[in-house]
Amino acid sequence: MSDSLQDWTERTFRPALPDGTPLSAHTGSGLELDPLYEPGDPAARQSLGRPGGYPFTRGPYPTMYRGRRWTMRQYSGFSTAEETNTRFRFLLERGQTGLSVAFDLPTQMGHDPDASLARGEVGKVGVSIATLGDLEALLDGIPLDRVSISMTINATAPILLAFLLAAAKRQGVDAGALRGTLQNDLLKEYIARGTYRFPPGPSMRLVTDVIEHCHEHLPRFNPISISGYHMREAGCTAPQELAFTLANGLEYVKHAAARGLDVDDFAGQLSFFFNAHNDLFEEVAKFRAARRMWARLLRERFGAKSDAAMRLRFHTQTAGSTLTSQQPDVNVVRVTLQALAAVLGGTQSLHTNSRDEALGLPTEDAALLALRTQQVIAEESGVPNTVDPLGGAPFIEALTDALEAEARGLIGKIDALGGAAAAVQAGFQQREIHREAYAHQRAVEQGDRRIVGVNCYELEQVEAPPILRVDDALGQRRARELVAWRAARDQGACDAALGSLAGAAESEGRNLMPLLVDAVEAGATVGEICGRLERIHGKYRPASVF
């Protein structure tokens, strides 16, 4: 590190923000804060590095929250597109800075609302989207060139991206202006979540098609959010979350590189999605280790040279699995601690769960309180005023090192099995997660792991808060809407578009994204597209790995 901290600070922080606001900060008592603090030992300073520089332990950007706050992206979706649009507007008007769409199970697994497998699930755990018209209703009045859109969707991710591209075109918004993230992470579906449709081979092709298409046409859009969140929800530990997530990321990079994409050109569009649990300092160290590991792995394995390629950026969601139906108000405290860990760890965007998470979909009041939790941390806590405020602390640095060492060991085991995809087929990650989940539950039941309100500090009876319920008649209503949609479209054009898509899917070498856009513009539904692809690729049926 050739320049002094003073020189680096002058160069990085003295220029004002675009609105003229100086990059300075003070404590609540008025004491001026330096933007960055370093260890006194020169060797420790050299090892730690600085924010915005390799290996990014201290943060992906030099100024972090002194220059720009994280995106407050509350995950929302239920019932119909119109009702979810109302919730989106409610949150945006109250300070939310990005949208994150939750889809119902039929949409996630590629079934239309009138399919027999959709019965009883339409609109229940997210919004029901089957057609381009549905997505346009969902985003009605939301300027796609100004609001970042995140979509938590995997097996049908290319179809939902096609909907978004077609909707943007109708709004007159160029694809290059779109900002947001598509989850599009199929490997973790086979490991922990289960909303897959096709076997791993065809799924990896579709994932790579999206990465390639976004690289060529959507430079501001993240084509994948490589997710450790759901594996952590299923029961894995913090080191396992690190190892399994980054190993999956390496697999996606390998497939994209095999297409001829240069890692320095496309890896900067990859994003990650982590869980924030209750152990505050372990979670902070986990986030710091993730950045450092990813930078080192991309340099070691793919020869990455650019900072943009090696810079790991991530979204965080607080841990739904830690929230309890007993004494649900206590969940506000848990979520606050988890959100604090994410911010201290340097997240780029954050969703805070609602206190009624363990009971049902969030009510409007609960969703607002969850958003306010983030806003209090941003505006009142002082945490964003210094970059990596815990960096250099012996405890934090030792934890960061320990987590990286443990995760590296697990990645070595995955490598020995042939990489993440091969390890999934062998059931390695699944077995590891199930073992940890069993051990956790046993510790709770035996009282060795204490959970307030569950096995300690219990109350006989607590009045449950209001619960949001979705009308069971919604499925029938959506089925009628779908009949009307099909009757109004040009069936010949729809059939032709689906035929072209199927023909391209039968052979390798052609990116399917343009054909998917053609199909949805011709009126094809999510279920119809998945049905055609399933005839070619088959349906994934997992073998037992236990």
In order of start, what are the domains of the chain with their CATH numbers? 64-446 (3.20.20.240)
Nearest Cα to 267, choosing from 289, 242, 299?
Answer: 299
The pLDDT of residue 256 is above 80: yes
Q: Write the pLDDT tens digit of every residue in 496-505.
A: 999 999 999 9
User: How far is residue 466's CA from residue 501's CA, in Å, rounded to a whole number?
Assistant: 46
The pLDDT of residue 242 is above 90: yes
Q: Identify the helix (H) or strand (E) that includes residue 342.
A: helix 331-344
Cα–Cα separations (whole angstroms), residue 516 to 72, 174, 224, 352, 533: 31, 18, 18, 33, 11
* Contact in structure between 141 and 167 (CB atoms under 8 Å): no
Instruction: Please list the residues that pair with 100 across neighbouring strands.
Output: 75, 150
* Contact in structure between 364 and 90 (CB atoms under 8 Å): yes
The pLDDT of residue 419 is above 70: yes
Phi-psi region of 294 (alpha: psi -120 to 50; beta: other; left: phi over 0): alpha
Q: What pLDDT is recorded for position 1?
A: 45
Mean pLDDT on 280-296: 98
* Contact in structure between 316 and 276 (CB atoms under 8 Å): yes
Lowest mean pLDDT among 144-148, 296-300, 387-391, 485-489: 144-148
Question: For the chain, first and last CA: distance in Å?
Answer: 50
Say how far residue 220 (Cα) sits from the centre of its chain.
16
| Percent share of the chain, pLDDT over 70 | 97
Is the bond preceding 35 in cis, omega lying within 30 degrees of 0?
no
User: How far is residue 312's CA from residue 59's CA, in Å, rounded to a whole number?
Assistant: 9
User: How far is residue 505's CA from residue 499's CA, in Å, rounded to a whole number?
Assistant: 10
Strands (E), 92-191: 99-102, 149-152, 180-182
Mean pLDDT on 92-109: 92
Spatial CB neighbours of 411, under 8 Å, sequence gap ≥ 6: 243, 246, 247, 297
Q: What pLDDT is recorded for position 502?
A: 97
The pair of three-digit structure tokens given for residue 132, joined into one six-digit string: 């381009």
Spatial CB neighbours of 323, under 8 Å, sequence gap ≥ 6: 331, 334, 335, 353, 355, 357, 358
Q: What pLDDT is recorded for position 11?
A: 80
What value, to the nearest 5°, has the Cα angle with vertex 209 and ends 203 and 210? Answer: 95
Rg (CA), the chain: 23
Q: Identify the helix (H) or strand (E) that includes residue 232.
A: helix 229-234
Q: Identify the helix (H) or strand (E) that includes residue 350.
A: strand 349-351
The pair of three-digit structure tokens given for residue 370, joined into one six-digit string: 């969850």
What value, to the nearest 5°, has the Cα angle with vertex 375 and ends 276 and 30? Answer: 110
If you search the block for the tokens 């052979």, which residue do you land on? 507
The pLDDT of residue 6 is above 90: no
* Contact in structure between 246 and 411 (CB atoms under 8 Å): yes
What φ, ψ does residue 411 adopt, rounded to 5°? Answer: -65, -35
Compute the mean pLDDT over every residue in the chain, rounded to the nearest whole number: 94
User: How far is residue 356's CA from residue 370's CA, in Å, rounded to a whole number?
Assistant: 10
pTM of the model: 0.94
Q: Residue 88: is it exposed, middle or buried by C-beta count within 10 angstroms (0-12/13-18/19+)?
A: buried
User: How far is residue 386's CA from residue 34's CA, in Å, rounded to a whole number?
Assistant: 7
Q: What pLDDT is recorded for position 84?
A: 93
The pLDDT of residue 21 is above 60: no
User: How far is residue 64's CA from residue 389's CA, in Å, rounded to a whole number?
Assistant: 11
Mean pLDDT on 416-424: 97
Q: List the strands of the sheet with 349-351, edge to edge.
A: 71-72, 349-351, 314-318, 271-276, 225-227
User: How far is residue 220's CA from residue 423's CA, in Å, rounded to a whole number?
Assistant: 32
Confidence of residue 43 (pLDDT cuts 50, 70, 90): confident
Lowest mean pLDDT among 197-211, 459-473, 526-540: 459-473
DSSP state, residue 333: H
Per-residue 3-state assignment (H helix, E strand, C coil) for 312-330: CCEEEEECHHHCCCCCHHH
Mean pLDDT on 408-428: 97
Half-sphere exposure of 138 (CA within 13 A, CB side): 31
